[in-house]
A = this chain, B = another copy of it.
């Protein structure tokens, strides 16, 4: 087993002033290529703390990945401290200098003394290009341990990892071939899913592992095969996937990085359909799920934010009598909302939400979490009542996810 440690350097993370998204991403990427993270540590911008964690990590791991402390200001001491640790010194690297100079030139700025320092790397380091910023990354090999130092800015670090570090680690450690298949499910809880596929899971061959990755409203299943023969491993994993698929089919909405809103968008596009939304309790969140996808204007026309009852009546077209008799949170109202927005926006499909997201506004008959959703097409209306039990934020999110999943199911049989 190849063991890695991840070290984050910086007072802002240590004192909780900024969110560290780097370590999770790095460990997940390492896991994908069969490298196990054995420890993650955060230390502050002090020489003692950095020297101590470097020595400790080296004693435990084959790979030490370090982020942060590479900026041009005096707080950023990672590079200098690594020189101390390795007994090397800083010198201008010509490739780095050319990169930094070009980076500044492109932005019409001159390279000043402080930024010139960005082109310096320790004499025992291999220069690693950073195509996204001015601080280069560095690769060290020291007493059988590989050290990699990268800038802490997430998109720079991720770019460098993908461009260079991950392939270089695979080559250096001759990691076995790994094949992943991520199956995304929705509408079923982790424990129910686990129970449902238990016999299959128990019978998985030794070289294929299964992980459950749950998040709000959905559960990802990740099949991971390990082996020396690329084609064989891939075939084995795909065969296991085919075995389990019939059991879980109705809950599977996508694979890999698919999000439900992307899947629904793709289906709408493929079928040449358009959609409009009438949102009450989701208050814009449902539309945002559609419109955060680039290119969504092909199928998303718009809709009505029908928060107040007056807006439900006009322009949406819900009858005043319906609202008076059944209330805003009712099947009768949600049907008229979905049909109304479909007609108003001349869309193929009209969607609607109305409910009590909380924390206030509930009654004995309609407690917080009572939510109606609907889909109207030219020929029919599908409605569903949800009874959610989360916070306001969770109820809004789960309403949108449930409705998107209902649309997906509908489109799959159209």
Contacts and interface: CB of A to CB of B under 8 A. Distances in A.
A287 B279 CA distance: 10
A302 B291 contact: no
Contacts of A314: 344
Task: List the 9 shortest-distance A-B pairs measured between CB atoms, nearest first.
Answer: A283-B291, A284-B287, A16-B28, A16-B27, A284-B284, A315-B315, A302-B311, A284-B288, A302-B307
A311 to B, nearest CB: 4
A307 B315 contact: no
A23 B38 CA distance: 18
A14 B38 contact: yes
A315 B284 CA distance: 17
A294 interface: yes
A247 interface: no
A332 interface: no
A119 interface: no
A142 B277 CA distance: 60
11 contacts: A14-B40, A15-B28, A19-B21, A38-B49, A276-B305, A283-B288, A283-B300, A284-B305, A285-B291, A291-B396, A303-B305
A106 interface: no
Contacts of A346: 310
A42 interface: yes
A66 B386 CA distance: 37
A236 B211 CA distance: 54
Interface string A272-291: 00001101001111111111
A295 interface: yes
Contacts of A211: 17
A39 interface: yes
A171 interface: no
Contacts of A25: 16
Nearest to A289: B284
Nearest to A211: B17
B305 A305 contact: yes
Contacts of A19: 21, 24
Interface in A31-52: 31, 36-44, 49
Interface of A: 8, 13-21, 23-31, 36-44, 49, 53, 56, 211, 213, 276-277, 279, 282-292, 294-297, 300-308, 310-311, 314-315, 344-346, 358-360, 392-393, 396
Given A285-B288, A287-B283, A291-B284, A345 B16 contact: no
Nearest to A46: B38
Contacts of A289: 284
A259 B310 CA distance: 28
A69 to B, nearest CB: 15
B41 A40 contact: yes
Q: Which of A39, A359, A392 has the most CB of B within 10 A?
A: A39
B37 A40 contact: no
B42 A39 contact: yes
Contacts of A302: 304-308, 311
Nearest to A19: B24
Given A15-B27, A15-B31, A344-B315, A301 B310 contact: yes
Nearest to A306: B302
Contact of A288 (B13, B288, B290): B288
A295 B360 contact: yes
A305 B283 contact: no
Q: Which of A27, A282, A284, A308 has the most CB of B within 10 A?
A: A284
